[in-house]
Structure 1
Protein backbone atom coordinates (compact mmCIF):
# COMPACT_ATOMS: atom_id res chain seq x y z
CA UNK A 1 0.00 0.00 0.00
CA UNK A 2 1.28 3.48 -0.84
CA UNK A 3 2.35 5.51 2.18
CA UNK A 4 -0.12 8.31 1.37
CA UNK A 5 -3.02 5.82 1.30
CA UNK A 6 -1.82 4.22 4.52
CA UNK A 7 -1.67 7.63 6.18
CA UNK A 8 -5.13 8.66 4.95
CA UNK A 9 -6.72 5.45 6.21
CA UNK A 10 -5.03 5.75 9.59
CA UNK A 11 -5.89 9.43 10.14
CA UNK A 12 -9.52 8.92 9.15
CA UNK A 13 -9.93 5.92 11.45
CA UNK A 14 -8.00 7.53 14.30
CA UNK A 15 -10.10 10.70 14.18
CA UNK A 16 -13.24 8.55 14.42
CA UNK A 17 -11.92 6.32 17.24
CA UNK A 18 -14.20 6.34 20.29
CA UNK A 19 -11.78 5.06 22.93
CA UNK A 20 -8.05 4.84 23.72
CA UNK A 21 -8.31 1.09 23.09
CA UNK A 22 -9.46 1.77 19.52
CA UNK A 23 -6.56 4.18 18.99
CA UNK A 24 -4.15 1.58 20.37
CA UNK A 25 -5.52 -1.09 18.02
CA UNK A 26 -5.13 1.23 15.04
CA UNK A 27 -1.56 2.11 16.01
CA UNK A 28 -0.72 -1.56 16.48
CA UNK A 29 -2.12 -2.41 13.05
CA UNK A 30 -0.37 0.36 11.14
CA UNK A 31 2.99 -0.07 12.87
CA UNK A 32 2.88 -3.85 12.37
CA UNK A 33 2.36 -3.22 8.65
CA UNK A 34 5.61 -1.22 8.74
CA UNK A 35 7.50 -4.09 10.39
CA UNK A 36 7.41 -3.06 14.05
CA UNK A 37 6.57 -5.48 16.85
CA UNK A 38 6.20 -3.20 19.87
CA UNK A 39 5.18 0.41 20.51
CA UNK A 40 4.54 2.90 23.30
CA UNK A 41 3.52 6.53 23.66
CA UNK A 42 4.07 8.57 26.78
CA UNK A 43 3.92 12.13 27.95
CA UNK A 44 7.01 13.81 29.33
CA UNK A 45 7.06 13.66 33.15
CA UNK A 46 8.99 15.86 35.53
CA UNK A 47 11.91 14.14 37.30
CA UNK A 48 9.95 13.62 40.54
CA UNK A 49 6.84 12.23 38.79
CA UNK A 50 5.92 8.62 38.05
CA UNK A 51 6.31 7.69 34.38
CA UNK A 52 3.53 5.09 34.57
CA UNK A 53 0.86 7.78 34.89
CA UNK A 54 2.11 9.41 31.68
CA UNK A 55 1.74 6.38 29.41
CA UNK A 56 -0.92 6.97 26.75
CA UNK A 57 -0.29 3.77 24.76
CA UNK A 58 1.51 0.72 26.05
CA UNK A 59 2.40 -1.91 23.49
CA UNK A 60 5.67 -2.88 25.18
CA UNK A 61 6.09 -6.40 26.50
CA UNK A 62 4.71 -6.50 30.08
CA UNK A 63 8.09 -7.56 31.45
CA UNK A 64 9.97 -4.64 29.91
CA UNK A 65 7.34 -2.11 30.95
CA UNK A 66 7.56 -3.33 34.56
CA UNK A 67 11.36 -3.17 34.61
CA UNK A 68 11.48 0.24 32.89
CA UNK A 69 9.02 1.84 35.31
CA UNK A 70 10.23 0.18 38.51
CA UNK A 71 13.88 1.07 37.82
CA UNK A 72 12.90 4.59 36.73
CA UNK A 73 14.91 4.31 33.52
CA UNK A 74 13.26 7.20 31.68
CA UNK A 75 15.68 10.00 32.54
CA UNK A 76 18.72 7.71 32.14
CA UNK A 77 17.51 6.28 28.83
CA UNK A 78 20.09 7.28 26.18
CA UNK A 79 17.43 7.31 23.46
CA UNK A 80 15.22 9.72 25.41
CA UNK A 81 18.18 12.02 26.01
CA UNK A 82 19.29 11.89 22.37
CA UNK A 83 15.79 12.66 21.07
CA UNK A 84 15.43 15.55 23.48
CA UNK A 85 18.67 17.08 22.19
CA UNK A 86 18.12 16.27 18.51
CA UNK A 87 14.45 17.37 18.28
CA UNK A 88 13.87 14.87 15.47
CA UNK A 89 12.92 11.26 14.78
CA UNK A 90 15.82 8.92 15.44
CA UNK A 91 16.60 5.28 14.73
CA UNK A 92 18.16 3.82 17.87
CA UNK A 93 21.04 1.95 16.23
CA UNK A 94 21.97 5.00 14.14
CA UNK A 95 21.74 7.40 17.06
CA UNK A 96 23.93 5.48 19.50
CA UNK A 97 26.54 4.45 16.93
CA UNK A 98 29.80 6.05 18.01
CA UNK A 99 28.23 7.49 21.17
CA UNK A 100 30.03 7.12 24.49
CA UNK A 101 27.10 5.83 26.53
CA UNK A 102 27.19 5.76 30.31
CA UNK A 103 27.33 2.37 32.02
CA UNK A 104 23.65 2.76 32.95
CA UNK A 105 22.79 3.72 29.38
CA UNK A 106 24.51 0.59 28.04
CA UNK A 107 22.69 -1.49 30.67
CA UNK A 108 19.31 -0.09 29.59
CA UNK A 109 19.99 -0.89 25.92
CA UNK A 110 21.15 -4.44 26.77
CA UNK A 111 18.09 -5.12 28.91
CA UNK A 112 15.78 -3.72 26.22
CA UNK A 113 17.35 -6.11 23.69
CA UNK A 114 16.81 -9.01 26.11
CA UNK A 115 13.08 -8.25 25.92
CA UNK A 116 13.14 -8.18 22.10
CA UNK A 117 13.61 -4.42 21.67
CA UNK A 118 16.77 -4.82 19.62
CA UNK A 119 16.32 -1.72 17.48
CA UNK A 120 13.67 0.91 17.13
CA UNK A 121 12.54 4.42 16.34
CA UNK A 122 11.56 7.24 18.68
CA UNK A 123 9.50 10.19 17.48
CA UNK A 124 9.33 13.38 19.58
CA UNK A 125 5.87 14.96 19.82
CA UNK A 126 5.81 18.73 20.03
CA UNK A 127 3.18 21.33 20.74
CA UNK A 128 3.68 25.08 20.70
CA UNK A 129 4.76 24.69 24.33
CA UNK A 130 7.64 22.38 23.39
CA UNK A 131 8.23 18.66 23.82
CA UNK A 132 5.08 17.00 25.21
CA UNK A 133 5.63 13.32 24.49
CA UNK A 134 7.50 10.49 22.81
CA UNK A 135 6.33 7.74 20.48
CA UNK A 136 8.61 4.70 20.34
CA UNK A 137 8.46 1.61 18.14
CA UNK A 138 10.70 -1.42 18.28
CA UNK A 139 11.65 -4.44 16.21
CA UNK A 140 14.59 -6.64 15.38
CA UNK A 141 16.05 -4.46 12.66
CA UNK A 142 15.02 -1.00 11.50
CA UNK A 143 15.73 0.73 8.21
CA UNK A 144 13.60 3.77 7.44
CA UNK A 145 13.46 6.14 4.50
CA UNK A 146 12.80 9.84 4.99
CA UNK A 147 9.22 9.26 3.80
CA UNK A 148 8.68 6.56 6.44
CA UNK A 149 10.05 8.84 9.16
CA UNK A 150 7.66 11.60 8.06
CA UNK A 151 4.81 9.08 8.09
CA UNK A 152 5.60 8.03 11.66
CA UNK A 153 5.68 11.67 12.78
CA UNK A 154 2.17 12.25 11.46
CA UNK A 155 0.89 8.97 12.92
CA UNK A 156 2.35 9.97 16.30
CA UNK A 157 0.77 13.42 16.26
CA UNK A 158 -2.60 12.16 15.01
CA UNK A 159 -2.76 9.44 17.68
CA UNK A 160 -1.56 11.80 20.42
CA UNK A 161 -4.12 14.46 19.44
CA UNK A 162 -6.97 11.94 19.45
CA UNK A 163 -5.93 10.48 22.80
CA UNK A 164 -5.83 13.97 24.30
CA UNK A 165 -9.30 14.66 22.88
CA UNK A 166 -10.65 11.44 24.41
CA UNK A 167 -9.09 12.28 27.77
CA UNK A 168 -10.50 15.79 27.62
CA UNK A 169 -7.04 17.31 27.99
CA UNK A 170 -6.64 18.86 24.55
CA UNK A 171 -6.61 22.64 24.89
CA UNK A 172 -7.35 23.22 21.20
CA UNK A 173 -10.97 24.19 20.67
CA UNK A 174 -12.93 22.94 17.66
CA UNK A 175 -13.75 26.39 16.33
CA UNK A 176 -14.89 26.89 12.75
CA UNK A 177 -12.03 27.68 10.40
CA UNK A 178 -12.48 29.47 7.11
CA UNK A 179 -9.97 28.49 4.45
CA UNK A 180 -9.76 29.63 0.85
CA UNK A 181 -10.12 27.29 -2.15
CA UNK A 182 -6.39 27.63 -2.85
CA UNK A 183 -5.55 26.78 0.77
CA UNK A 184 -7.89 23.80 0.59
CA UNK A 185 -6.15 22.50 -2.53
CA UNK A 186 -2.73 23.04 -0.96
CA UNK A 187 -3.87 21.15 2.12
CA UNK A 188 -5.10 18.20 0.06
CA UNK A 189 -1.77 17.93 -1.75
CA UNK A 190 0.12 18.32 1.54
CA UNK A 191 -1.85 15.40 3.01
CA UNK A 192 -0.96 13.41 -0.12
CA UNK A 193 2.71 13.87 0.77
CA UNK A 194 3.68 16.48 -1.81
CA UNK A 195 6.37 19.07 -1.15
CA UNK A 196 5.75 22.79 -1.61
CA UNK A 197 7.68 22.69 -4.88
CA UNK A 198 5.60 19.76 -6.16
CA UNK A 199 2.35 21.43 -5.07
CA UNK A 200 3.37 24.60 -6.89
CA UNK A 201 3.93 22.63 -10.08
CA UNK A 202 0.57 20.86 -9.74
CA UNK A 203 -1.32 24.09 -8.99
CA UNK A 204 0.71 26.23 -11.40
CA UNK A 205 1.73 28.51 -8.58
CA UNK A 206 5.16 29.54 -7.34
CA UNK A 207 6.74 27.60 -4.49
CA UNK A 208 6.71 30.82 -2.46
CA UNK A 209 2.94 31.20 -2.93
CA UNK A 210 2.39 27.62 -1.79
CA UNK A 211 4.59 28.19 1.27
CA UNK A 212 2.45 31.24 2.09
CA UNK A 213 -0.76 29.20 1.81
CA UNK A 214 0.67 26.47 4.05
CA UNK A 215 1.89 29.03 6.60
CA UNK A 216 -1.60 30.56 6.68
CA UNK A 217 -3.11 27.11 7.20
CA UNK A 218 -0.74 26.38 10.08
CA UNK A 219 -1.71 29.69 11.68
CA UNK A 220 -5.44 29.11 11.22
CA UNK A 221 -5.27 25.56 12.57
CA UNK A 222 -2.79 26.44 15.34
CA UNK A 223 -0.29 23.90 14.01
CA UNK A 224 3.42 24.23 14.67
CA UNK A 225 4.58 22.18 11.68
CA UNK A 226 3.33 20.27 8.63
CA UNK A 227 2.77 17.03 10.56
CA UNK A 228 0.58 18.85 13.10
CA UNK A 229 -1.22 20.60 10.24
CA UNK A 230 -2.21 17.27 8.68
CA UNK A 231 -3.34 15.79 12.00
CA UNK A 232 -5.35 18.91 12.84
CA UNK A 233 -6.96 18.95 9.38
CA UNK A 234 -8.36 15.46 9.98
CA UNK A 235 -9.39 16.36 13.52
CA UNK A 236 -11.42 19.33 12.29
CA UNK A 237 -12.97 17.45 9.38
CA UNK A 238 -11.15 19.46 6.71
CA UNK A 239 -9.82 16.23 5.21
CA UNK A 240 -11.65 12.94 4.73
Structure 2
Protein backbone atom coordinates (compact mmCIF):
# COMPACT_ATOMS: atom_id res chain seq x y z
CA UNK A 1 0.00 0.00 0.00
CA UNK A 2 1.23 3.47 -0.83
CA UNK A 3 1.43 6.26 1.74
CA UNK A 4 -2.18 7.44 1.46
CA UNK A 5 -3.97 4.26 0.34
CA UNK A 6 -5.98 3.65 3.53
CA UNK A 7 -7.06 7.29 3.73
CA UNK A 8 -8.04 7.41 0.06
CA UNK A 9 -9.94 4.12 0.40
CA UNK A 10 -11.84 5.55 3.38
CA UNK A 11 -12.65 8.73 1.42
CA UNK A 12 -13.86 6.65 -1.52
CA UNK A 13 -16.10 4.56 0.74
CA UNK A 14 -17.59 7.73 2.19
CA UNK A 15 -18.26 9.14 -1.29
CA UNK A 16 -20.20 5.98 -2.11
CA UNK A 17 -22.20 6.08 1.14
CA UNK A 18 -25.74 6.88 0.07
CA UNK A 19 -27.27 7.61 3.47
CA UNK A 20 -26.35 9.36 6.70
CA UNK A 21 -26.56 5.98 8.44
CA UNK A 22 -23.97 4.56 6.04
CA UNK A 23 -21.67 7.53 6.73
CA UNK A 24 -22.06 6.93 10.49
CA UNK A 25 -21.23 3.25 10.04
CA UNK A 26 -18.05 4.02 8.08
CA UNK A 27 -16.86 6.67 10.54
CA UNK A 28 -17.59 4.57 13.63
CA UNK A 29 -15.76 1.61 12.08
CA UNK A 30 -12.61 3.73 12.48
CA UNK A 31 -13.33 5.62 15.72
CA UNK A 32 -14.58 2.59 17.68
CA UNK A 33 -10.96 1.35 17.75
CA UNK A 34 -10.36 4.16 20.28
CA UNK A 35 -13.51 3.67 22.35
CA UNK A 36 -15.51 6.27 20.40
CA UNK A 37 -18.63 4.24 19.66
CA UNK A 38 -21.32 6.94 19.45
CA UNK A 39 -21.64 9.96 17.19
CA UNK A 40 -23.58 13.19 16.92
CA UNK A 41 -22.82 15.90 14.40
CA UNK A 42 -24.72 18.91 13.22
CA UNK A 43 -25.03 22.66 13.27
CA UNK A 44 -25.35 24.20 16.72
CA UNK A 45 -28.85 25.59 17.36
CA UNK A 46 -29.02 29.15 18.67
CA UNK A 47 -30.01 29.42 22.35
CA UNK A 48 -33.77 29.27 22.70
CA UNK A 49 -34.32 27.30 19.46
CA UNK A 50 -37.70 25.52 19.86
CA UNK A 51 -37.32 21.84 20.70
CA UNK A 52 -39.27 20.85 17.61
CA UNK A 53 -36.63 22.48 15.40
CA UNK A 54 -33.51 21.20 17.18
CA UNK A 55 -33.47 17.87 15.32
CA UNK A 56 -33.35 19.79 12.03
CA UNK A 57 -29.76 20.71 12.94
CA UNK A 58 -28.61 17.07 13.08
CA UNK A 59 -26.50 15.81 10.16
CA UNK A 60 -25.24 12.51 11.62
CA UNK A 61 -26.56 10.63 14.63
CA UNK A 62 -25.69 7.27 16.08
CA UNK A 63 -26.31 7.86 19.78
CA UNK A 64 -27.44 4.95 21.95
CA UNK A 65 -31.08 4.31 22.78
CA UNK A 66 -33.24 7.30 23.51
CA UNK A 67 -30.44 9.74 24.32
CA UNK A 68 -31.29 12.14 21.45
CA UNK A 69 -34.95 12.22 22.51
CA UNK A 70 -34.00 12.99 26.10
CA UNK A 71 -31.40 15.55 25.00
CA UNK A 72 -33.94 17.46 22.90
CA UNK A 73 -36.86 17.01 25.31
CA UNK A 74 -34.90 18.43 28.23
CA UNK A 75 -33.28 21.15 26.10
CA UNK A 76 -29.81 19.97 27.06
CA UNK A 77 -28.15 21.86 24.18
CA UNK A 78 -28.47 25.07 26.24
CA UNK A 79 -26.79 23.45 29.29
CA UNK A 80 -24.35 20.97 27.78
CA UNK A 81 -20.82 21.82 29.01
CA UNK A 82 -19.33 20.25 25.86
CA UNK A 83 -21.34 22.61 23.63
CA UNK A 84 -20.54 25.61 25.85
CA UNK A 85 -16.83 24.82 25.88
CA UNK A 86 -16.80 24.31 22.09
CA UNK A 87 -18.39 27.73 21.53
CA UNK A 88 -15.72 29.37 23.71
CA UNK A 89 -12.70 27.39 22.56
CA UNK A 90 -13.53 26.53 18.93
CA UNK A 91 -10.75 23.92 18.88
CA UNK A 92 -10.81 20.12 19.33
CA UNK A 93 -10.95 18.86 22.92
CA UNK A 94 -11.90 15.85 25.03
CA UNK A 95 -15.16 16.06 26.97
CA UNK A 96 -13.38 15.76 30.31
CA UNK A 97 -11.64 19.08 29.53
CA UNK A 98 -15.01 20.83 29.28
CA UNK A 99 -15.89 19.87 32.85
CA UNK A 100 -12.58 21.29 34.09
CA UNK A 101 -12.62 24.51 32.08
CA UNK A 102 -16.15 25.84 32.67
CA UNK A 103 -18.28 26.28 35.77
CA UNK A 104 -20.49 23.24 36.19
CA UNK A 105 -23.92 24.10 37.56
CA UNK A 106 -26.84 21.83 38.42
CA UNK A 107 -28.18 21.82 34.82
CA UNK A 108 -24.85 20.99 33.17
CA UNK A 109 -24.13 18.34 35.81
CA UNK A 110 -27.49 16.74 34.95
CA UNK A 111 -26.54 16.61 31.25
CA UNK A 112 -23.27 14.81 31.99
CA UNK A 113 -24.91 12.49 34.51
CA UNK A 114 -27.59 11.48 32.04
CA UNK A 115 -24.97 10.96 29.33
CA UNK A 116 -23.20 8.47 31.60
CA UNK A 117 -26.47 6.52 31.90
CA UNK A 118 -26.22 5.98 28.14
CA UNK A 119 -22.57 4.84 28.38
CA UNK A 120 -21.26 8.20 27.21
CA UNK A 121 -18.64 8.84 29.89
CA UNK A 122 -16.05 10.64 27.77
CA UNK A 123 -15.44 11.62 24.20
CA UNK A 124 -14.11 14.29 21.96
CA UNK A 125 -15.66 17.26 20.25
CA UNK A 126 -14.50 19.65 17.60
CA UNK A 127 -16.01 22.41 15.53
CA UNK A 128 -15.80 22.72 11.77
CA UNK A 129 -16.62 26.09 10.23
CA UNK A 130 -18.22 26.09 6.79
CA UNK A 131 -17.45 28.66 4.10
CA UNK A 132 -20.77 30.28 5.06
CA UNK A 133 -19.54 30.73 8.64
CA UNK A 134 -21.85 28.04 10.03
CA UNK A 135 -20.38 26.00 12.91
CA UNK A 136 -20.77 22.24 12.59
CA UNK A 137 -20.03 20.43 15.83
CA UNK A 138 -18.84 16.84 15.82
CA UNK A 139 -19.13 14.93 19.08
CA UNK A 140 -17.92 11.35 19.47
CA UNK A 141 -18.34 9.48 22.74
CA UNK A 142 -18.06 6.20 24.53
CA UNK A 143 -17.43 4.49 27.85
CA UNK A 144 -13.64 4.33 27.79
CA UNK A 145 -11.83 6.62 25.37
CA UNK A 146 -8.12 6.12 24.68
CA UNK A 147 -6.46 8.44 22.16
CA UNK A 148 -2.89 9.48 21.57
CA UNK A 149 -2.26 12.93 20.09
CA UNK A 150 -1.69 11.39 16.63
CA UNK A 151 -4.88 9.33 16.90
CA UNK A 152 -6.81 12.43 17.96
CA UNK A 153 -5.63 14.17 14.77
CA UNK A 154 -6.51 11.14 12.66
CA UNK A 155 -10.05 10.99 14.10
CA UNK A 156 -10.38 14.70 13.35
CA UNK A 157 -9.38 14.11 9.72
CA UNK A 158 -11.74 11.19 9.06
CA UNK A 159 -14.57 13.01 10.84
CA UNK A 160 -14.05 16.04 8.61
CA UNK A 161 -14.53 13.90 5.51
CA UNK A 162 -17.58 12.22 7.04
CA UNK A 163 -19.20 15.58 7.79
CA UNK A 164 -18.46 16.74 4.25
CA UNK A 165 -20.33 13.72 2.90
CA UNK A 166 -23.18 14.23 5.40
CA UNK A 167 -23.54 17.82 4.21
CA UNK A 168 -23.73 16.63 0.60
CA UNK A 169 -26.40 14.08 1.47
CA UNK A 170 -28.35 16.66 3.47
CA UNK A 171 -28.29 19.06 0.51
CA UNK A 172 -29.24 16.32 -1.93
CA UNK A 173 -32.23 15.17 0.14
CA UNK A 174 -35.19 14.88 -2.19
CA UNK A 175 -33.03 14.96 -5.32
CA UNK A 176 -32.18 11.95 -7.44
CA UNK A 177 -28.41 11.94 -7.54
CA UNK A 178 -26.54 8.66 -7.35
CA UNK A 179 -23.04 9.92 -6.71
CA UNK A 180 -21.03 13.11 -6.48
CA UNK A 181 -17.28 13.13 -7.04
CA UNK A 182 -15.14 15.76 -5.34
CA UNK A 183 -12.80 17.56 -7.68
CA UNK A 184 -9.07 17.30 -6.90
CA UNK A 185 -9.17 20.92 -5.67
CA UNK A 186 -12.15 20.20 -3.34
CA UNK A 187 -10.28 17.22 -1.87
CA UNK A 188 -7.18 19.36 -1.38
CA UNK A 189 -9.20 22.08 0.39
CA UNK A 190 -10.77 19.52 2.74
CA UNK A 191 -7.35 18.06 3.52
CA UNK A 192 -5.97 21.49 4.40
CA UNK A 193 -9.06 22.35 6.44
CA UNK A 194 -8.66 19.13 8.42
CA UNK A 195 -5.20 20.18 9.58
CA UNK A 196 -6.35 23.67 10.48
CA UNK A 197 -5.24 25.71 7.45
CA UNK A 198 -7.53 28.65 6.73
CA UNK A 199 -5.85 30.00 3.60
Q: TM-score, normalised by structure 2?
A: 0.78
1:157 aligns with 2:124: no
SS for the counterpart of 2:45 is: coil
Q: Quote the Cα distance in structure 2 between the aligned partners of 1:120 and 1:46.
A: 23
1:83 aligns with 2:50: no
Q: CA RMSD in A?
A: 3.1
Q: Which structure has the greater CA radius of gyration?
A: 1
1:56 aligns with 2:23: no
- CA deviations 1:38-84 (Å, max 9, x no partner) are 11112222332422111111111122111101111112111001011
SS for the counterpart of 2:83 is: helix
Cα gap change, 1:134/1:176 in structure 2, threshold over 3 Å: closer, same or farther?
A: closer
Matches within 5 A, 1:174-213: none
Tell me how many residue pairs correspond in the alignment: 185
Matches within 5 A, 1:6-45: 6-45=6-45
Q: Quote the Cα distance in structure 2 between the aligned partners of 1:131 and 1:141.
A: 31
Structure 2: unaligned runs, 5 residues or longer? 173-179
Cα gap change, 1:10/1:174 in structure 2, threshold over 3 Å: closer, same or farther?
A: closer
Equivalence for 2:150: 147
Cα gap change, 1:34/1:8 in structure 2, threshold over 3 Å: closer, same or farther?
A: farther
Contact 2:80 2:111 in 1 (8 A): yes
SS for the counterpart of 1:124 is: strand
Q: Quote the Cα distance in structure 2 between the aligned partners of 1:141 and 1:175.
A: 35
SS for the counterpart of 1:51 is: helix
Say which structure, 1 or 2, has more relative contact order (CA 8 Å, 6+ apart): 2
1:106 aligns with 2:109: yes
Quick check: 59-68 or 137-146, which moved more?
137-146
1:128 aligns with 2:160: no
Q: Quote the Cα distance in structure 1 between the aligned partners of 2:72 and 2:100.
A: 26
Cα gap change, 1:22/1:176 in structure 2, threshold over 3 Å: closer, same or farther?
A: closer
Cα gap change, 1:175/1:91 in structure 2, threshold over 3 Å: closer, same or farther?
A: closer
Structure 1: unaligned runs, 5 residues or longer? 179-186, 188-216, 231-240
Contact 1:10 1:30 in 2 (8 A): no
Q: TM-score, normalised by structure 1?
A: 0.66
Cα gap change, 1:4/1:123 in structure 2, threshold over 3 Å: closer, same or farther?
A: farther
